[in-house]
Amino acid sequence: MNVEFIEAIKLLEKERGIDAEVLFSAIEEALVSAYKREVPSARNNENISGVVDRETGEMWVEVMKEIVEEVEDPDSQIALEEAVAYNPDFEPGDYIAMVVNKDQFGRLAAQTAKSVINQRLSEAESERIHNEFSSRVGQLAYGVVQRRDRREVIVDIGRAEAVLLRNEQSRLDSYEFNQRMRFYILKVDERRSHPVIYVSRSHPNLVRRLFEQEVPEIGSGIVEIVEVSREAGSRSKIAVSSKDPNVDAVGSCVGQRGIRVQAVIDELHGEKIDIIEWDPDIVNFLSNALSPAKVVRVDLFDEDKAARVVVPDHQLSLAIGREGQNARLAARLTGWKIDIKSESQYHDLIQEQLMRRFDAAMLEAGADNESAENAEATQQENAEPAKEVTAKQAELGSDEAEQPQVETAQVEGTEAEAVSERPETPAATEDQP
């Protein structure tokens, strides 16, 4: 039986990847736990240890007892006369390991040991799963569909089971029993104190990882996938760039006769994939992102990170895509808001803007003319009282000469002359007797 026990331990190590030494340690702790449960007086004794022979499978419990002249605590002490029977060199103060027969534990002790062993096996398995798959988050894993319900799909990914939630599924996948496919490892979380691996079939990085496996140039770093935008089960767009001018990034991803991209499409069960060339010039990048439509003009509005793209009239629907899909994917790929216009719409827009500017200019000019007229009228109103005063002054100043009334402008001139001649008038008066 002990030999079978050792073989079972080795089988667990092979199938579950749990170190055999971890299992042996768990069993030794279980033996100690069972012994303390069976012997209440030994519960506080820290000098108890379980032993499992790695070769034969024999198991026992050892209690370290102190050698004393007179025994006060039989659970932790042993008399000198009894100890010298094992070794005549023992002296008081020494310790001796006493073996406890496991048969003394009884049925309850065996159940306790089994429970502890199962617990440690579960903990070891959980720790192994968490450590292994935490380092694989963001990578791909082959999986086999085990079962499916309305909320999730359970997938066997080798040495663990993973959960595929409904919102991470692709509508093109059927998830039939025993169906084999590749999954994107999303995260490792806890559910009821056990690690749970969550995978995805809709994440954009699933497309990225599939191309990394299918295209050697991406794996070697010559070609880089810069951005990916995806609507799972329908269409994906990827922007690629080459670090070697002699290597065509798009051609490398497509492959000879499209064999590389077709392998990815087959894995995604027919999902369409657009491969475009990334460009540091945002105008060119926007033009490429709207492929297969041809772009005529791009106007950028940097403050809002928005762009107005003009396409030929007959390609407007192609640029927008079914239900706006092509435009949405291009916007996600570039990170810019995109407003798509046909050439006719753009010309109408420009004409409308010109008319608005013309109308604004005309309104501004009309306002200026009105202001000028108002200013002139105000000036004339202010000038009327001055005319009357000047006329009266002229009339009073010209009574002696008996001059008739004249035009306002003339009166003003005569008044100036009269002011300059008046100093001479008193001098002429003084010469008379």
Distance CA 2, CA 53 (A): 10
Is residue 143 situated within a structural domain? Answer: yes
- Given a cut of 70, whether residue 420 has pLDDT beyond it is no
Q: Among residues 170, 200, 230, which one ends one of the domains?
A: 200
| Residue finishing a domain among 106, 131, 156 | 131
Residue range 400-418, pLDDT digits in tens: 444 444 333 333 333 333 3
Cis peptide before 245 (omega within 30 of 0): no
Q: Do 121 and 164 lie in a common domain?
A: no
Q: How far apart are CA 334 and CA 326, in angstroms?
A: 12
Q: What value does the mean pLDDT of the chain take?
A: 81
Reply yes or no on whether the pLDDT at 196 is more than 50: yes
Tens digits of per-residue pLDDT, 8-20?
778 877 776 678 8
- Relative to beta strand 161-165, strand 194-200 is parallel
Mean pLDDT score, 96-121: 69
- What residue numbers bound the domain in which 166 lies? 136-200
pLDDT digits over 235-260, tens only? 999 999 999 999 999 999 999 999 99
Residues 118 and 177 placed together within one structural domain of the fold: no
Domain count, the chain: 3
- How far CA 67 is from CA of 51, 80, 290, in Å, comes to 22, 5, 88
369 within domain boundaries:
yes
Does a structural domain hold residue 400?
A: no
Q: What is the pLDDT of residues 156-167, one digit of tens each?
A: 998 889 999 999
Q: With contact defined as beta carbons under 8 Å apart, do 186 and 140 qualify?
A: no
Confidence of residue 331 (pLDDT cuts 50, 70, 90): very high
**pLDDT grade for 58, boundaries at 50, 70 and 90:** confident
The DSSP secondary structure of 163-193, one letter per residue, reads: EEEGGG--TT----TT-EEEEEEEEEEEETT
Q: Is the predicted pLDDT of residue 397 greater than 90, yes or no?
A: no
Q: Where are the alpha helices (DSSP H) in 59-180?
A: 80-83, 106-134
Looking at the structure, do residues 106 and 150 belong to the same domain, yes or no?
A: no
Residue 419: per-residue pLDDT: 34
Give percent helix, percent strand, percent coil of the chain, each to the nearest 5: 50, 25, 25
Domain boundary among 131, 150, 166: 131
> No. of H helices and E strands in the chain?
14, 15
Please state the rounded mean pLDDT for residues 356-360: 79
Same domain? 125 vs 190:
no
Q: From 281, 283, 220, select the one nearest 252 (Cα to Cα).
A: 220
Give CA–CA dist 390/408, Å, rounded: 8
Q: How many Å apart are CA 300 and CA 309, to the nearest integer? A: 9
* Residue 426 maps to a domain: no
What pLDDT, in 10s, does the model give residues 263-272?
Answer: 999 999 999 9
Q: The whole model's pTM is what?
A: 0.67
Verify that 101 and 143 share a domain, yes or no.
no
Q: Are residues 152 and 119 in the same domain?
A: no
Decide if 85 is inside a domain: yes
Asked, for residue 275, whether it belongs to a domain, the answer is no
Q: Residue 177: is its pLDDT beyond 60?
A: yes
Q: What is the pLDDT of residue 428?
A: 37
Can you tell me the distance from the alpha carbon of 358 to that of 329, in angstroms, rounded to the nearest whole number?
38
Residue 150 in domain: yes
pLDDT tier for residue 332 given thresholds of 50, 70 and 90 = very high
d(CA 110, CA 35): 10
Give the closest residue to 2 by CA, choosing from 29, 35, 24, 26.
24
